[in-house]
Structure 1
Amino acid sequence: MEILEAFDLTRCAHSAAQLVGVDEKTVVRYVAIRDEGGDPFSRSRRPRVTDPFVDKIEELVEKSQARIRADVVHQRLTAMGFTGNERSTRRAVAEAKAAWKAGRRRSYRPWSPEPGMWIQFDWGAGPVIAGRRTSLFCAWLSWSRFRVVLPVWDQTLPTLVSCLDATLRRIGGAPTYVLTDNAKTVTVEHVAGVAIRHPEIVAAGRHYGCKVETCEPFDPESKGGVEATVKVAKADLVPTSANLAPAYGSFAELEDACFDWCERVNNRVHRETRAIPAVRLVEERRHLHVLPTQPHAVALGEERLVNDDQTVSFGSVRYSTPPGHVATKVWCRVAGDELVIVGRTRAGLAEIARHRLSTPGNPSIVDTHYPHHPGGNLPRPPRPRPRTCEEAAFLELGEGAHRWLIEAGAAGAVRVRAKMRKAVELAAALDRQQVDHALGLAAIAGRFDDGDLVSILDHLATAAPPTDVVFVDESHSVQPGTGPWEGFGS
């Protein structure tokens, strides 16, 4: 500017050069640039060694759609007589790619979601618990920016619908559209670029009053909000060397961590809206649809038929169910480390059983599901069932007769029928209850000979009642006293 100012003052290049202390040619060059409307501060482009090959470089970039590498271009140019180094080629290729992309750059229109219109979800890789990999179901309510993250073991269709049901019930309603990726649980295939929906996910959306939409393939911009949710959730919840988070000891710990994370991010000011998502959710709930009382059948899990032994098979493992569900359909789903079994009751669909997940070969059987069958794997005690009049008469004596017959059979007693007839005859001649009591005592003592029952009856008839039994307590002791030793040695 001093050069130009001196020239305007003197109107002579020689004089202006002497005033500012520069060469006269410098003054002439800057004045010529200004007179041509150029920028005096921009440097003129010097000739490059790649200039004769610019057309070829642009041709290669155009054909490859700016994907060709600079080293490949350098090899092509060298074969054509190029003598420059690879650094010059890389600079020319970078400029050609930038010029090619400048006219083809994709432009975006800002998305302004309406309240109650959109909810987006996607899957993220979760932490490893006990050697088993988990997944994170990440949902994002577009207008309020309310986020829900649920840990699961798999990404199957029942798990997806179950997570979607839990998410909608947490936010308190259903929006109009559900946007997600083109997973096989949502999009079966593409025909001429048109996504073919999975019929079950369409039925689930119809059940909740939502229309399921999918984004364009390889176009994460159409659901960038939930992509950010997945990224942030994984950064905070998955233990890495970056966050130094400790490993999870159980699935329940991961569930608590996900819930705490959602509470934290939903109750802080969002960077873009400058509002708290939990507060905006209260306003958005007025625009959401009312949820049905019962979840969709797919959300309940996989359908199973209850066998005659009151068990269902899930994952090659048998799990017991309560009485009253034999030959009916139930639904099984995995919730953390447990298997939840849902069946139809008088009040509708309800949880009827819950088991810890087991492994093949180790069935999970609950004894309370079989109230009329003794539990355990021990031998079952026999239940006397009379088939003749003599057997019925003996068993009618009472519980002692039942016990005597069971113990006599286990002890291998002989002439059992004759002894049973003798007991019936004694009961007719003597007291019926006394004979039954004697049979019970004989069973306890293991006395099954011919004269044992009569001997026990005689003892019961002559023995005094046990009224002089001494009970040990703080006021009495069975320890002998020292009174007989008082006169010793006198």
Structure 2
Amino acid sequence: MKDALETVKILAAYDLTKSLRGAAELTGCSHHTVQRLVAERDAGRAPGSGPVRERIIDPWLPKIEDWVEASHGRIRADVVHEKLARMGYTGSDRSTRRAVSEIKAAYRRGNRRVHRPWVPEPGLWLQYDFGDGPVIGGVKTVLFVAWLAWSRFRIVIPLRDRTAPSVFAALDQAFRIIGGAPTYVLTDNEKTVTTMHVAGVPVRNQATLAFAKHYSVDVLTCRPADPASKGGVENAVKVAKADLVPKETNLLPQYASFAELEQACRDFMVMVNSREHRTTRRRPLDMLTDERPALHRVPDTAHTVAYGVGRKVPENTPMVSFENAQYSVPAHLLGQDVFVRSHGTGPDTQVVIMHVGADGPAEVARHGLARPGSPAINDEHFPDHQEKIPGDYRPVPRSAAEAEFLAIGAGARTWLLEAAAAGTQRINVKMAEAVALAKIAGTAEVDKALGLAAVHQRFAHGDLASLLTAASQRAGLRTAAEDKSLTQGTAGWAGLGATDSGEGTR
């Protein structure tokens, strides 16, 4: 078979000589080849294509077309071959695959979706979607990616999960990053946005409606299984995953903490928004400056659904439950409503507790992730708490007599604890005796005697009076001060062996 250049030269030689043999001599081929090429040209066929030969599968092509049409171009060639074989087809599976491929290509050409270029307006559209983030501490993260359609400004925020509080908190953060809220927010049909479809019409989630009203945005969803309707953010997710998730294609190391991933996302946003976009030939950061006046103002406070799930603090203990674990809050929040959410992932996971008061929302507590049965407690949340230790009793008077005895002093309280632990009999009578002695001998002296009795386990009848008597007798003894001593000196030994001056030596 002659190639295209040889075919053109042969036909040019024939047009020059109008002779089959003359053209053959000029081009060095057979005059039969010249005759065949000229005949194909005169018949309207491409010269050199050869005659169209019938194939064994040609009679079955209409049936294959029906199957391709019924399956919307998804039927497999091996399935077609099995069906044809049962109907009497004797050709090879190679011929079947070739025919199915040709018919599918024709079907796609006839049913191809034509995309009209979308020309967005400033301040109207923001699209968001999610991508699989890196694994940190054995826990998989989520990348929240938002894309402002007109300026092509991209936002990437790492999340621990895709629950409504996390998603709405990320949207609030995205609005504040771009400096305003758009008119429309477009996303997928997730449960956080759409609860169900009725006759193809999405039914909105009530939490989403409350969020949209707070920020004055209209949250819309694309058609199911139609990523082309939000292709801008789909491409942004692909780029973010390629640059942020450790893979063999980028050789990124694993992230040591969730905070490290957050910093990587911030660096990524600075990088992509500071370089020229290939479509607009402008930097998204510069275009955002032009688009910002078309955005409307973001409320000063975020919607409460962005703070987390609501919890009511009990009236008697400042603890709230979250994901089967308990966390403490300041005691002044007893009986009030708070919002709890988790932030981060793996060992860096933190539980953040918010309270919306008269001055707006404020973070009131932050704990590490607790486990069921092991509550997270901050001692500062229990300012008046006295730890209860088994066996550590604090005397509390229940009558006037008890109060009068305990008023003697610390020795009296110690005596009571020790006497009770020793099982002392008629303890009330001995307490009354101590009160009477305090009025006679003095409160301080009796308090000291009670302390001595407690130390030496002297709880019998008359022991207290005996200790007081012994103390009074010791009061008349000579005592030494710090600058004096009662120890006998050695001055008397100085004259030992000396003779009287009036007598001679014997």
TM-score where L is the length of structure 2: 0.80
More off after superposition, 309-318 vs 37-46: 37-46
- CA deviations 1:6-42 (Å, max 9, x no partner) are 3343343343333333333433444455556654465
More off after superposition, 192-201 vs 391-400: 391-400
- CA deviations 1:386-424 (Å, max 9, x no partner) are 333333333444556555545554555555545544554
The one of 359, 377, 387 aligned to 2:371: 359
More off after superposition, 198-207 vs 245-254: 245-254
- CA deviations 1:265-318 (Å, max 9, x no partner) are 333333433333333333332222211122111111111121212211222222
Pairwise mapping of residues 463-482 of structure 1 onto structure 2 (< 5 A)?
none
SS at match of 2:331: coil
More off after superposition, 55-64 vs 182-191: 55-64
In the other structure, the counterpart of 1:341 is 353
- Structure 2 unaligned spans of 5+: 1-7, 485-506
In the other structure, the counterpart of 1:322 is 330
Mapped pair 1:68 → 2:75: yes
- CA deviations 1:321-377 (Å, max 9, x no partner) are 2112222221111112111111243423211111111111111222221111124x6
Aligned-partner Cα distance in 1 for 2:176–2:480? 71
Question: Percent identity, aligned pairs only?
Answer: 51
In the other structure, the counterpart of 2:490 is none
More off after superposition, 439-448 vs 267-276: 439-448
Q: In structure 2, give the amino acid aligned to 1:361.
A: G
SS at match of 2:156: strand
SS at match of 2:277: coil
In the other structure, the counterpart of 1:331 is 339
Answer yes or no: is the 8 Å Cα contact 1:439–1:453 preserved in 2. no
Answer yes or no: is the 8 Å Cα contact 2:211–2:303 preserved in 1. yes
1:232 to partner: Cα distance: 3.0
1:44 to partner: Cα distance: 4.9
In the other structure, the counterpart of 1:237 is 244
How many residues are aligned here? 468
Answer yes or no: is the 8 Å Cα contact 1:119–1:139 preserved in 2. yes
Assess, with a 3 A threshold, how the Cα gap between structure 1 residues 185 and 422 changes in structure 2: closer, same or farther: same
Kindly report the root-mean-square deviation, in angstroms, between the aligned alpha carbons of the 2 structures. Answer: 3.3
1:216 to partner: Cα distance: 0.4
Mapped pair 1:313 → 2:324: no
Answer yes or no: is the 8 Å Cα contact 1:304–1:331 preserved in 2. yes
Aligned-partner Cα distance in 2 for 1:468–1:274? 96
Assess, with a 3 A threshold, how the Cα gap between structure 1 residues 268 and 467 changes in structure 2: closer, same or farther: farther
1:181 to partner: Cα distance: 0.5
SS at match of 2:263: helix
Q: In structure 1, give the amino acid aligned to 2:374.
A: N
Aligned-partner Cα distance in 2 for 1:440–1:361? 43
1:219 to partner: Cα distance: 0.3
SS at match of 2:384: coil
Q: In structure 1, give the amino acid aligned to 2:390.
A: P
1:218 to partner: Cα distance: 0.8
SS at match of 2:332: coil
In the other structure, the counterpart of 1:379 is 390
Aligned-partner Cα distance in 1 for 2:193–2:420? 66
In the other structure, the counterpart of 1:485 is none
Aligned-partner Cα distance in 2 for 1:461–1:141? 97
In the other structure, the counterpart of 2:27 is 20
Aligned-partner Cα distance in 2 for 1:206–1:143? 23
1:114 to partner: Cα distance: 2.1
Assess, with a 3 A threshold, how the Cα gap between structure 1 residues 435 and 105 changes in structure 2: closer, same or farther: same
Which entry has the higher C-alpha Rg, 1 or 2?
2
1:438 to partner: Cα distance: 6.7
Q: In structure 2, give the amino acid aligned to 1:319.
A: Y
In the other structure, the counterpart of 1:215 is 222
Answer yes or no: is the 8 Å Cα contact 2:37–2:48 preserved in 1. no
Aligned-partner Cα distance in 2 for 1:186–1:103? 35
1:53 to partner: Cα distance: 3.3
